[in-house]
Copies of this chain bind each other. A is one copy, B any other.
């Protein structure tokens, strides 16, 4: 238990993931309202939008308008996702409001690369080098890395721990060749294959080989393992997590089978706070934002705490009752 960090840092992924997956058109003003509410909870990093092809992701066709509505909060970093030159150009028009950087992402699954990008690992590596060049051309920092599907992949099956460790090495080597320093490496359970023991095994193996590397966990909750996996990460000393308010991006309905939302932010914050781990987040404000998200999307979202309630009010009432009875 001694490895459990004193504080953690959460990157909020709810707006980007959530509004991408929701079928109904959501008014731009409501997206803005939600993001601005999140920015007042103590969250310091918010993935606010996505500059992707509006034909493929209609939910983010209004990314420019959303950014226009964001009210800057000192100390809060808003980010926008981009995947290609076109997206980057859109993102760059919001340089004043958004933190725009590049991240080196690698895939342990060659089967996924083949299927999704029709590339070999070598070809993909060349693409990453082109990507880095684009970032450099625009003066964007590239100091984050990530390993997708580090705990298993629908196209490759189980991923050996040694494959992940080797890929982390490849990523760090490529970064070094490109004169970049990776300050944070995310291990992503993209397709929700992870269990707490798998988290411990993979994190432990990467830590052993690269003890100075700052690790982050990106945990999808598709099979309900999200918080248990986060706890396993905490026990390994991992102090950075992605999460989504209300569990946005996932959906409790069977018709959205396998919708792969991130672990729910307020559930994670509650677990941490109750275990004495500082998150810097106002839990009541975050729950209010999560409830707003549910109202905005118009159907129940996976988050549990916003239905069950926190313990703080119960503690106060219990103390009052005990005092009155004494």
| A204 nearest CB neighbor, chain B only | B1
* A153 at interface, CB cutoff 8 A: yes
Q: Assuming A223-B308, A258-B308, A304-B222, is B318 touching A275 (CB within 8 A)?
A: no
Number of copies: 2
**A305 near B267: Cβ-Cβ < 8 Å:** no
* A7 at interface, CB cutoff 8 A: no
- Distance in Å: Cβ of A319 to nearest Cβ of chain B: 6
* A152 at interface, CB cutoff 8 A: yes
* A76 at interface, CB cutoff 8 A: no
Q: Which interface residue of A221, A227, A291 has the most chain B CB atoms within 10 A?
A: A227
Q: Which of B156, B232, B303 contacts A322 (CB 8 A)?
A: B156
- Distance in Å: Cβ of A93 to nearest Cβ of chain B: 38
Segment with Cβ contacts to B, from A23-31, A123-131, A170-178, A193-201: A193-201
Which chain B residues lie closer than 8 Å to A256 at the CB level? 307
User: Which residues of chain A from 263 to 315 have a CB within 8 Å of any chain B CB?
Assistant: 264, 267, 270-271, 274-276, 291, 294, 300, 302-311, 314-315
Q: Which interface residue of A114, A197, A198, A275 has the most chain B CB atoms within 10 A?
A: A197
**A224 near B303: Cβ-Cβ < 8 Å:** yes
**A197 near B1: Cβ-Cβ < 8 Å:** yes
Q: Which of B228, B257, B318 contacts A309 (CB 8 A)?
A: B257
Taking Cβ atoms with an 8 Å cutoff, the residues of A that contact B are: 1, 4, 111, 114, 152-158, 192-193, 195-198, 200, 221-225, 227-228, 230-232, 252-254, 256-260, 264, 267, 270-271, 274-276, 291, 294, 300, 302-311, 314-315, 317-319, 321-322, 325
Nearest 8 A-B pairs (CB), nearest first?
A: A224-B304, A157-B318, A222-B308, A224-B267, A223-B308, A228-B228, A227-B228, A228-B231
